[in-house]
Amino acid sequence: MVVPVNNENRIAAHAQNPVIDERYDVVYEHKGLSICTLRVATPSKGDSLNYFIDYIDFQGEEFIDVVAAVDEIDKFDETHGLAKRFSK
């Protein structure tokens, strides 16, 4: 299940994925892992319109939509079991 997240709770300084900084907002959370995208993206300046998972193991990976990111978190959880540590 994908749950919308209150963006006021997003603290970029605690980002686990170094790609994510204060320009990003959390749009969904799944199994305790945040899915983020840029607040404002300018593709002509090289900004990505994709989504990122705020977890170091997903560094360098981009997802076309939230569903693709959720699917990847599920696969990761099945093979590594690490996402369970973040579940509420």
Q: 2-6, 19-23, 39-43, 66-70: which has the minimum mean pLDDT? A: 2-6
Q: How confident is the model at residue 62 (pLDDT cuts 50, 70, 90)?
A: very high
Average pLDDT of the chain is 81
pTM for the full model? 0.76
Position of tokens 């209150």?
6
- Judge whether 38 and 23 are in contact, CB under 8 Å: yes
Task: Say whether 19 sits in a helix, a strand or coil.
Answer: coil
Q: Where are the beta strands (DSSP E) in 1-88?
A: 3-4, 24-30, 33-38, 52-53
Taking every pair of Cα atoms in the chain, the longest distance, rounded to a whole number of angstroms, is 39
Region 32-39: mean pLDDT is: 92
- Judge whether 66 and 35 are in contact, CB under 8 Å: yes
